Every structure is written in C-alpha cells, then in structure tokens.
Amino acid sequence: MSEQWIYLNGDFVEKHEAKISVYDHGFLYGDGVFEGIRVYEGNVFRLQEHLDRLYNSAKSIMLSIPHSKEEMKQLVVQTLQKNQLSNAYIRLVISRGVGNLGLDPSSCARPQVIIIAEELALFPKELYESGLEIVTVATRRNRPDVLSPKVKSLNYLNNILVKIEASLAGVSEALMLNDQGYVAEGSADNVFIVKGTELLTPPGYVGALEGITRNAIIEFAKDLGYTVKEEPFTRHDVYVADEVFLTGTAAEVIAVVKVDGRVIGEGKPGKETKRLLEAFRERVVIEGEKVYSETLR
C-alpha cells in the first residue's frame, strides 16, 4: 500500500512519522476539538457545516484555531490530493497544544492542527442489508449543562463507555439515554424512529450532538414528503417503532433491527430506512462544492 500522508502543523508527514508530544494537552486532558468528515467522489460533504461546528466548538472552549475557515478548507483539500483520495473519511483534530503538566491551558503555546484522511468502512456492507442489533446502556449522556454535547471535544469518555458496554453485550453499537431517561443518541451517531411516514429524532436539548448527517436526513426526508419531528422519546417508543435507524458521518444511514432483545418491525431494514439511505447516497455525491470535484476527480 502506498504511503499515507498526515497534515501536521504545516507539513505533510508520513503516517509513521506523525507524532505529537506527550505534553500535548489533547493527550493529557482531552483538551481539544475534532470533526469527522466524508468525501464522496470528490465532493466533501457539507464541509462548511463541519467547519462551522468545529469553530463553534473551539470558540466554546476558548481555543483559537490558527487558520481561517477558508485556509482550513484548502488544507482539507490538499490532504485529500496528497493522498490521492476522492472517497474517504477525514479526521480534523485541533488540540490545545504542548504545555506543562498543569491543567491551565495558558501554558500551551500554540494549538496543533492535524488532518488525517483514509479510506473507511465502519460497518461491513452486509450490515446495511441485515441491519444492526443494539442495546441501551447504563451510561448516560453528559448533561448539556455540564459538558455541552454541541462541543465536539476530544473528551469522548462518555461515548467510549457506551462502546465498552455495547461490546460486553455482544453488539457493535448502543443507545444512551439522558439523565431523565429520554433516548439521546448512539456512541457516535444520532437516532431516528419511524412511525408510518413520520420520523422522530431527539431534539438537541435532550443531549444529542446535532449531527450533520442527522440534519441532512431531516432535510432529505422533508423533500421526500415525510413529516419530521424533533421530539423527546423513550425506550418504549423505540421498541414499538415501525423502523429505527442511526445516522452519522461514518455510519451514514443504518437500520436497527433489534433493540434490547425486542425485534423492530419485521426484523429487517424497513422500506423507509432503505429509501432514505438511497436518497442520502445519491445526494452526497451530487452535493458539495464543485472545486473539490474538479480538483479530485
């Protein structure tokens, strides 16, 4: 396989050389922010929205990103070009930078900027055809007033605990509830339930990240004539839904066919989920800023 190039603070370095200091506060304390982005046939999907979320997350934690959004766009494109990738997953990480062992971020002279692009297959293809079995877990979503889920920070312990619980239960993904018992989201994806032609997804205030795929699905579904509601719901509503699916940059749109042992609908990916996945896959290729398609195709 050809060498993978990582963008690291102004240079492209080979993967095995892409190293950061153990004094980086991203490593020491999870002090930093990140984004996961997809490029489909040269179209970087909703890059502007990802950058808006990244810069908002950074602003919220008072981390000053040393590039304008326009520069960052160019760096993302350059990383794809350098790696000759037109279908890939892109990870953008901004850590607080190298400091001393104290918590105070003022010891960190400058943030570190890292861009990784690689081919990705999160769930095997068969799972999109068979659907996922998931569980709900004891780990609760961070309360929005404690650590806002809108900040996509490097502190992902909450989500990692969900993954650990999921694998202990023998499944690959799980749903977290919020502190009041309403369904919040998966470890790295948003959740939708389908009732007839109505789609429901938890609103941001329940404690979910307002996912870019989630927002795209809301938009695409409305275009297709579905009614979409952002409303809190419980585990019971999930168990008795006609269909359940998860959305995320990595997961795209994936059906859930069993939750806590309850079979959802007919136990296979439902027709609305399939239709939405199809619409999603079509739109992600068409949409996008043409500059990327021209430079990458």
Give the interface with ligand PMP as residue ranges (CB under 6 A).
36, 159, 185, 188-190, 209, 211-214, 247-249
**152, 268, 274, 290: which one is catalytic?**
152
Q: How far is the CB of 217 from ligand PMP (least distance, A)?
A: 9
Shortest approach of ligand PMP to residue 197 CB, angstroms?
23
Residue with Cβ nearer ligand PMP (139 or 159): 159
Between CA 54 and CA 166 the distance in angstroms is 28
List the alpha helices (DSSP H) in the chain: 25-29, 47-60, 69-82, 125-130, 157-168, 212-223, 235-239, 271-286, 290-296
Nearer to ligand PMP, 12 or 34 (CB): 34
Shortest CB 218 distance to ligand PMP, Å: 11
The structure tokens listed for 27 are 């490593």
**Which tokens sit at 85?**
């990738």
CA separation for the pair 38, 54 (Å, rounded): 15
Instruction: Report the C-alpha gap between 141 and 293 in whole angstroms.
Output: 38
> What is the CA angle 125-127-131, rounded to 5?
145
Task: Tell me, yes or no, if 268 is annotated catalytic.
Answer: no
Closer Cβ to ligand PMP, 85 or 151, answer by number: 151
Q: Which residue is nearest to ligand PMP (CB)?
A: 211
Within 10 angstroms of residue 163's Cβ, the number of other Cβ atoms is 18
| Minimum gap (Å) between residue 247 Cβ and ligand PMP | 6
Nearer to ligand PMP, 136 or 249 (CB): 249
Q: Which residues are catalytic?
A: 152
